[in-house]
Amino acid sequence: MSENDHDKPRRKNPWGDQNGGRREDRPQNPWGGRPGGSGGNEPPDLDELLRRTQDGLRDILPGNISGGTAFGLLALALLLLWLASGFYIVNPGEHGVIQRFGAWSRTQTAEGLDYHLPAPIEKVTTVNVSALRRMNIGFNESFTRDGRSSQKSDVPEESLMLTSDRNIVDLNMVIQWDIKSAEQFLFEIEDQDNTIKKVAESAIREVVGQTDMFPVITTGRALIASKVKDIIQKNLDEYNSGVNIKQVLIQKAEVHPDVQGAFQDVQSAKQDAEDTQNKARAEREDILPKARGQAIKIVQEAEAYKQSQIAKAQGDADRFAAVYAAYQNGKDVTKERIFIETMEDILSNAQKIILDDKSGKQGVVPYLPLDELKPKSQSDNNVSATGSTSILR
């Protein structure tokens, strides 16, 4: 150390004396408390604190800077830090929602560095709008630390539902959704997750309550999921929730164990009824074509018989008209001809015995039995067919 150094005035230590020793009349720390004494528990005097801080800054800073200037620099530094606190970063897939004095001001959708007025004037809340969120209805799911496996447990108050035919089904469903409006999601609804879950439960119970049990547990799952998705989205849009329902998945839909036995009996009865109906349909399909064909045949035969009878009657009428016309021209001749034709019809198959009253001889005129020359069987048939004997005189 040079002599000039000894000649320079030493800078005063703001927290103690110049030689590093302790003084009983001056506290060791700048806040007025004595180490180890009871004064450490007393609140500091604000005026004394400011005075000592000013003295300390005056000792630390160069001699040409006054205490007021030092406070100005300190205030400027604090102001710069406060203004710098307004910078924020919007990450990919996020939106920044800016509030001014608690009310929504704007939404920053561009990625990267941006700025808002420092708190408490404005504040920003970043919302991940690209993440696909998942909500379970009817069950809880817990994952292991590695995230590869999970354990599921039913929540009966959510999963048990009543169908339109008064049956109970146990249904587990997964709702997948994301955010389409960050400001609506933050400010239009409270307790967003719980609100979405309640809306989803209401929609599921509405659709299941309007559907029979069999479609719910078998072939109607896709249609039910589609209806539930539409109802959830409609209700959330009415709330201006800013939520977009991406997909609704039914993971489990089965009969409640307490009614499983009764359900099996009902299904067996339905199957028996269906088998009987199928058998009856098959028998009907076999009988009906035959009956239709028989009916058509009968109708055709009746039509043919009708036409034949009409033709026969028409022929008889025409013949009678012709005979009548001939009769008008010659009544005696016509009568004789009709008589002869009639007698021919009557006596054609009868056994004939001819007696001639004009013959001078007594007895029966010899008659050549031409009919007896025919085969006996044919003669017998002719006799049996006539059944009578005609005598001509």
In a domain, 22, yes or no: yes
Overall number of domains in the chain: 5
Query: Of 89, 132, 130, 135, whose CA–CA distance to 113 is shortest?
Result: 89
Each residue's pLDDT tens digit in the chain (393 positions)? 444 444 444 444 444 444 444 444 444 444 444 444 444 445 556 667 667 766 665 665 555 555 567 677 777 888 888 888 788 888 888 888 888 887 887 888 778 788 888 888 888 888 888 889 999 998 888 777 776 667 778 888 888 998 888 888 899 999 999 999 888 888 888 888 999 999 999 999 999 999 988 888 888 899 999 999 999 999 999 999 899 999 999 988 888 777 777 777 877 888 889 899 999 999 989 899 989 999 999 999 999 999 999 999 999 898 888 877 877 777 777 788 888 888 888 877 776 666 666 655 555 555 555 555 555 555 455 444 444 444 444
At residue 162, what is the residue type? L
CB 88 within 8 A of CB 106: no
Task: Please give the model's pTM, rounded to 2 decimal places.
Answer: 0.51
Task: Determine, yes or no, domain membership for 370.
Answer: yes
Closest CA to 32 of 55, 18, 49, 16: 49
- Same-domain check for residues 32 and 62: yes
Return d(Cα 115, Cα 81) in angstroms, integer.
Answer: 14
At 330, is the secondary structure helix, strand, or coil?
A: coil
* 294 & 213 share domain: no
State whether 224 and 210 are in the same domain.
Answer: yes
Give the side-chain half-sphere CA count within 13 A for 43.
3
The answer to whether position 187 is within a domain reads yes
Domain around 376: 349-392
Q: How many CA atoms lie within 13 A of 272 on its CB side?
A: 6
- Same domain for 145 and 239? yes
291-310 burial, b for 16+ CB within 10 Å, e for fewer?
eeeeeeeeeeeeeeeeeeee
**Which stretch of DSSP H or E encloses residue 277?**
helix 260-329
DSSP 159-184: HEEE-TTS-EEEEEEEEEEEES-HHH
Classify residue 100: in a domain, yes or no. yes
Task: Establish if 218 belongs to a structural domain.
Answer: yes
